[in-house]
Structure 1
């Protein structure tokens, strides 16, 4: 607040506008921290976006569809996205990028592999906490 106060005093900004600037900065900081928390809770192995994806290396991948999916309308419609293909075609990179886009748009995300999910479900069943895990997974957008 001191730096903003000094800037406002130097610029001759009145007190209500000073308070408005402080509130705006606080809101921006809270949104940033909330997004960072969503990304951390998603448990991405690495953070990747489509900015680093080489669509030229995968000409069969529908670029416009992938870019449309980053708008995350499929989440609001409660639809699924399934990526199929051989190893090395960009399924994980695309999934990570879609997850990151969802976090940035305010959605909760849980990143896992099919094998890890099956393992976690089996462990939860054995430890009699399957319902709790199912409830936790249900709360993820």
Structure 2
């Protein structure tokens, strides 16, 4: 059985080595890992630059706060379950003139999530709809929102299994706790009536209270191939478009265009 660490006692006139050891122990007890690792270097820099005690303390505390915020953002991004990293800074707006940069950068401020509004990204494969979905979801996680990413087919399968195991309400509640639910590849596969009904329950549970963002390679008019019940299809479209921002990313795959351009450059 390990013994508890000895209590810290403040002493005047500590040697530099003893002072560093005391700071190290205090940071461990107070769980301040950034101050612990940066203290010595920051103290040396403060001495060289003749900072006041207040400036020195502010430098350390700001570094701890910034690093703690970074770690929290990283945890939220991991918890979101994105399949790969995508950033808005990597999106090529010049390659896809259908996507308005001003609208996307406004969305990155996350006001639409604060108001519980939906986002619909509609376009053919390769036009950037999934890139934008993940990138905007990442922005939301970095801003402090709880985010969950899921493929539409996987979500429906999970809901069907939950219904069979009599834990549907628990599963819907779990999805209801996130601030932003990102559903990708909606419209890729036909859903049977039961699966579509269960998905509708999730959307209804979040209506006007928590945001849903979807990416689809089908226009709304083509969703009857996914939701074969016309009335249910109309109700789902209504849920996802009320107060929504809708961005149509077009039909021309810029990934394909970039590949062709690279191949042409090699051939030339």
Which digits, 9 at most, give the CA deviation of each residue in 1:11-42, with x for residues without a partner?
23333332222111110110100111111111
The one of 40, 53, 64 aligned to 2:91: 53
Q: Which residue of 2 is the match for residue 105 of structure 1?
A: 143
Shift of 1:57: 3.1
Q: Determine which of 88, 91, 100 is the counterpart of 2:129.
A: 91
- Greater percentage in strand: 2
Structure-1-length-normalised TM-score = 0.88
Report the counterpart of residue 65 of structure 1 in structure 2.
103
- Deviation, 1:76, is 0.9
CA displacement, residues 28-64 of structure 1 (integer Å, 9 cap, x when unaligned) = 1101001111111111111111222222333333333
**Residue 2 (structure 2) pairs with residue 2 (structure 1):** no
Name structure 1 gaps, 5 residues minimum. none
Q: What do you get for the CA RMSD once the two structures are aligned?
A: 1.7
In the alignment, the residues of structure 2 paired with residue 68 and residue 16 of structure 1 have an alpha-carbon distance, to the nearest angstrom, of 37
Who is 2:50 aligned against?
12
Q: CA deviation at 1:10?
A: 2.6
String of CA shifts for 1:49-84, please: whole Å, max 9, x gaps: 122222233333333322221221110111000122
Distance 1:111 1:83 in 2: 14
Tell which deviates more after alignment, 26-35 or 131-140.
131-140
For 2:157, the equivalent position in structure 1 comes to: 119
* CA-CA distance at 1:106 after TM superposition: 1.5
Quote the residue 1:28 is aligned against. Answer: 66
Q: Which has the higher helix share?
A: 1
Deviates more, 1:15-24 or 1:105-114: 15-24
| TM-aligned CA distance change 1:135 to 1:59, over 3 Å | same
